[in-house]
């Protein structure tokens, strides 16, 4: 049930400084985070010493990782996969060092001038290799729908889950990203609900602008209601995107968020309160 879900989030949208991230989420009684930006570094770039320091601060603050917010798979499909696979293996090492067991990942950027269907088998081949490695590492790979990748709309996400049948390959459902790809979110939910193990709480208007949950056309409340009815007890992870943040330019392509004012603790709190209001409205 939704009332048993734990709230997490991308706390780098509060501040690039991890101490400030932890200080603020604690004021909201949140004890999990989805690490992405840590003191000016992306989570995939942390050294062993960086990991030691971060884990120490996590322990001091009573905060755990819900899922690693990695950029794995957020590269061009026509790039060097072997090189990216090495980066993926390092991300697995970092995941273990932070006592985590889940990695958020993607299914490769598609060339704008080419039909994604051309790359279906190649995407499945690459992801299968990563899933096979993740199975040995006992790490769940959680695929997020994202603008411009193979799995940006529900039918292509379904392609992947039907082709790669593994307990270590699952779905992160992001309503706002589907809105931005002109994918009806309720249709997407019905197609993918059996694979959903993690929710990103993010909403958007028809024009693609990101807004607090419940204020857009992403059907966030209805989706959480349906998850509640089926007994979902996974994480609800805040990804406010109500302002720009350090490292955004390295993660997004042609994203108008880059022109927004900086994200901060206030915007993060707005996103948190919007989620809590929805949970209360559901009656959970």
Model pLDDT for residues 53-90, shown as the tens digit of each residue: 999 999 999 999 999 999 999 999 999 999 999 999 99
Q: What pLDDT score does 57 carry? A: 98
> Are the beta carbons of 242 and 273 closer than 8 angstroms?
no
State the pLDDT confidence band at 128, using cuts at 50, 70 and 90: very high
Q: What pLDDT score does 257 carry? A: 47
**Class level of CATH domain 2-282:** alpha beta
Model pLDDT for residues 154-190, shown as the tens digit of each residue: 999 999 999 999 999 999 999 999 999 999 999 999 9
Model pLDDT for residues 109-123, shown as the tens digit of each residue: 999 999 999 999 999
Q: What pLDDT score does 259 carry? A: 45
- Give CA–CA dist 207/180, Å, rounded: 8
Model pLDDT for residues 210-244, shown as the tens digit of each residue: 999 999 999 999 999 999 999 999 999 999 887 55
The 8 Å CB, 24+ separation contacts for 98-101 are 98/35, 98/51, 98/54, 98/55, 98/58, 98/65, 98/68, 99/55, 99/64, 99/65, 100/64, 100/65, 100/67, 100/68, 101/138, 101/139, 101/140
Q: 180-203 burial string, b = 16+ CB within 10 Å, else e? A: bbebbbeebbebbeebbbbbbbbb
Model pLDDT for residues 11-57, shown as the tens digit of each residue: 999 999 999 999 999 999 999 999 999 999 999 999 999 999 999 99
Model pLDDT for residues 180-219, shown as the tens digit of each residue: 999 999 999 999 999 999 999 999 999 999 999 999 999 9
């Amino acid at each position: 049930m939704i009332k048993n879900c734990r709230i997490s989030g991308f706390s780098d949208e509060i501040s690039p400084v991890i101490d400030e991230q932890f200080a603020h989420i604690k004021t909201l009684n949140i004890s999990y985070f989805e690490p992405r930006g840590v003191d000016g570094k992306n989570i995939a770039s942390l050294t062993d010493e960086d990991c030691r320091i971060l884990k120490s601060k996590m322990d001091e603050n009573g905060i755990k990782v819900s899922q690693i917010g990695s950029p794995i798979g957020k590269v061009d499909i026509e790039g060097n996969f072997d090189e990216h696979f090495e980066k993926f293996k390092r991300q697995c090492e970092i995941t273990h060092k932070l006592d985590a067991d889940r990695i958020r990942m993607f299914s490769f950027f598609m060339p704008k001038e080419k039909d994604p269907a051309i790359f279906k088998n190649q995407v499945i081949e690459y992801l299968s290799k990563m899933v096979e490695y993740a199975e040995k590492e006992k790490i769940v790979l959680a695929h997020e729908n994202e603008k411009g990748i193979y799995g940006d709309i529900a039918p292509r996400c379904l392609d992947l889950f039907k082709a790669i049948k593994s307990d270590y390959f699952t779905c992160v459902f992001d309503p706002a990203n589907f809105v931005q790809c002109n994918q009806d979110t309720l249709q997407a939910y019905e197609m993918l609900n059996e694979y959903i193990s993690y929710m990103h709480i993010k909403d958007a208007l028809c024009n693609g602008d990101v807004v607090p949950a419940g204020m857009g056309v992403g059907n966030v409340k209805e989706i959480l209601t349906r998850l509640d009815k089926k007994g979902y007890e996974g994480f609800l992870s805040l990804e406010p995107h109500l302002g720009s943040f350090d490292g955004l330019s390295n993660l997004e392509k042609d994203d108008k968020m880059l022109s927004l004012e900086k994200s901060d603790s206030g915007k993060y709190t707005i996103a948190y309160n919007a989620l809590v209001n929805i949970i209360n409205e559901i009656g959970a």
